[in-house]
Chains A and B, each alone.
Chain A
Amino acid sequence: MSTPILEVKGLKKYFDIRGGVFGKKVGDVKAVDDVSFTVNRGEILGLVGESGCGKSTTGKALLRLVEPTDGEVIFEDENILDLSKEQMRRLRKDMQIVFQDPYASLNPRHTVEKIISEPLITHGVESSKEQKERVKELLEVVGLEADHASRYPHQFSGGQRQRIGIARALANNPKLIVCDEPVSALDVSVQSQILNLMEELRDKYHLTYIFIAHDLSVVKHISDRVGVMYLGGLVELTTKDQLYESPKHPYTQALLSAVPVADPDYEVDRVILEGDVPSPSNPPSGCPFHTRCPMAMDVCKEVKPEFREIEDQHFVACHLYE
Chain B
Amino acid sequence: MLSYTVRRLLILIPVLLGMTIITFSIVHLIPGNPAQVILGESATDQQIQNLEETMGINEPYVKQYWIYLTDLLQGDLGTSLKTKSEVVSEIGPKLAATAELTFFAMLFAIIVGVNAGIVSAWKQNSWFDILAMVVALIGVSMPVFWLALMEKWFFAQELGWLPSGGRESSRDPIEPITHFFVIDSILHGDMERLVTTLKHLVLPSVALGTIPMAIIARMTRSSMLEVMKSDYIRTIRAKGSGQIIVIYKHALRNATIPVLTVIGLQTGVLLGGAILTETIFSWPGIGRYVYDAITFRDYPVIQSGILVIAFIFVMINLIVDLLYAYIDPRIKY
Contact = CB atoms under 8 A, between A and B. Distances in A.
**In the complex, A touching B (Cβ < 8 A):** yes
Nearest to A23: B7
Nearest to A19: B333
B238 interface: no
Nearest to B7: A21
Contacts of B83: none
Interface string B291-333: 0000000000000000000000000000000000000000001
Interface residues of B, number: 5
Interface string A6-38: 000000000000011111000000000000000
Contacts of B10: 21-22
Interface in B1-21: 3, 6-7, 10
A294 to B, nearest CB: 34
Contacts of A19: 333
B278 to A, nearest CB: 39
Contacts of B7: 21-23
A19 B7 CA distance: 10
Contacts of A21: 3, 6-7, 10
Interface of A is mostly: loop
A23 B333 CA distance: 10
Interface string A282-294: 0000000000000
A23 B3 CA distance: 11
A21 B4 CA distance: 7
Contacts of A23: 7
Contacts of B3: 20-21
A100 to B, nearest CB: 22
Nearest to B5: A21
B192 to A, nearest CB: 53
A227 to B, nearest CB: 35
A23 B8 CA distance: 11
B15 to A, nearest CB: 16
A72 B133 CA distance: 61
Contacts of A20: 3
A216 B91 CA distance: 73
Contacts of B6: 21
Contacts of A22: 7, 10
A20 to B, nearest CB: 7
Interface in A48-67: none
A21 B3 CA distance: 6
A32 B25 CA distance: 52
Interface string B105-126: 0000000000000000000000
B332 to A, nearest CB: 10
Contacts of B333: 19
Interface string A196-216: 000000000000000000000
Nearest to B4: A21
A217 B3 CA distance: 47
Q: Which of A20, A21, A22, A23 has the most CB of B within 10 A?
A: A21
A22 B4 CA distance: 10
A21 B9 CA distance: 10
A19 B333 CA distance: 7
A199 B275 CA distance: 72
Interface in B162-204: none
Interface string B136-156: 000000000000000000000
Nearest to B2: A21
A21 B6 CA distance: 7
A27 to B, nearest CB: 15
A26 to B, nearest CB: 11
A85 to B, nearest CB: 33
A19 B6 CA distance: 12
A176 B333 CA distance: 42
A22 B7 CA distance: 7
A103 B99 CA distance: 52
B246 to A, nearest CB: 31
A23 B4 CA distance: 10
Nearest to B3: A21
A20 B3 CA distance: 7
A24 to B, nearest CB: 11
A259 B10 CA distance: 51
Interface in B38-62: none
A41 to B, nearest CB: 47
9 contacts: A19-B333, A20-B3, A21-B3, A21-B6, A21-B7, A21-B10, A22-B7, A22-B10, A23-B7
Interface of A: 19-23
| Shortest beta-carbon contacts, A-B, top 6 | A21-B7, A21-B6, A21-B3, A21-B10, A20-B3, A19-B333
Given A19-B333, A23-B7, 4 more contacts: A20-B3, A21-B6, A21-B10, A22-B7
